[in-house]
Amino acid sequence: MRNETISAIEEHKVFAIVRGLSPENVRPTMNALVEGGIRLVEVTFDRKNGEENTLAALDILATDFSEQLIYGAGTVTTTEQVEKVKALGGQFIVSPDFNPEVIKKTRELEMVSLPGVMTPTEAVQADAAGADFIKLFPGGLLGPGYLAALSAPLSDLKFIAVGGVNADNIPEFANAGAVGFGIGSNLVNNSIIENRDFDKIYQSACDYKQAIESIRK
């Protein structure tokens, strides 16, 4: 399963990052993403408001979308959270930081590890600790130029650009060395969900699908 998840990430490339989604909005949001061609979904933990909605969303994904989506959790900062995600069928763990204990637990539980880094030192340390992909965060603030400078001497690492990535700048990040892209509010915006404009999420998903197809050519 681990190898299948790694292959799926390399193939589909775009992660929809979902934050603060109430349980009643999970199914229509996921349906819009699936119909638009998205196959990777990261449901983030909420450090301020607790874990309830995150775990509820993961439970719905496990029940209703396990055949359609590769899913996992983001903002994972403890080994206990890793265990909870595994229990709900999650296949990958994304963190905002480099935490060797989180990486170790992720690998022990046969999930894919994507820790967040900002510097070459962190990137090399995360790789040595067992990370499968290296999440460059905040990608938009640092920009494609920084990623290009980082990935040039570390070309064996698989970088995921997260933060400030959109359908227009995906080619720039790809040329700079990114093999995947984490998309948050540019794809799943909570104000759109509150208005129940799920067709807009579908259209955005289609745009990202097209952006990925363009960099394959």
Sorted by where each begins, the domain ranges of the chain are: 2-216
How crowded is the C-beta side of 22, counted as CA atoms within 13 Å?
A: 7
CB atoms within 10 A of CB 50: 10
**Distance separating alpha carbons of residues 102 and 98, to the nearest angstrom:** 8
Per-residue pLDDT, 217: 65
Which residues sit opposite 161 in a β-bridge? Answer: 136, 181
Query: Which among 13, 42, 158, 209 is annotated as catalytic?
Result: 42
- 11 belongs to the catalytic site: no
Which amino acid, 54? T
- 42 belongs to the catalytic site: yes
Tell me if 98 sits within 8 A of 117, measured CB to CB: yes
**Distance separating alpha carbons of residues 165 and 112, to the nearest angstrom:** 22
Q: How far apart are the first and last CA of the chain?
A: 28
Q: For the whole prediction, is pTM greater than 0.75?
A: yes
CATH number of this structure's domain 2-216, picked from the four choices 3.60.21.10, 3.90.1300.10, 3.20.20.70, 3.40.309.10:
3.20.20.70
Which residues sit opposite 113 in a β-bridge? Answer: 93
Give the strand order in the sheet containing 159-162.
112-114, 92-94, 70-74, 40-44, 14-18, 178-183, 159-162, 134-136, 116-117
45 DSSP 8-state letter: P
Per-residue pLDDT, 106: 98
The encoded tokens of residue 47 equal: 């450090």
The secondary element (H helix, E strand) that includes residue 170 is helix 170-176
Closest CA to 44 of 202, 183, 197, 178: 183
Tell me if 136 sits within 8 A of 162, measured CB to CB: yes
Query: Which among 84, 86, 105, 135 is annotated as catalytic?
Result: 135
* Phi, psi (rounded to 5 degrees) for 177: 125, 0
Which residues sit opposite 86 in a β-bridge? Answer: none
Per-residue pLDDT, 216: 83
pLDDT (tens, 9 = 90+) of the chain, 217 residues, equals: 899 999 999 999 999 999 989 999 999 999 999 999 999 999 999 988 889 999 999 999 999 999 999 999 999 999 999 999 999 999 999 999 999 999 999 999 999 999 999 999 999 999 999 999 999 988 888 999 999 999 999 999 999 999 999 999 999 999 999 999 999 999 999 899 999 999 999 999 999 999 999 998 6
**Distance separating alpha carbons of residues 132 and 128, to the nearest angstrom:** 10
At 7 the three-state DSSP class reads helix
Per-residue pLDDT, 123: 98
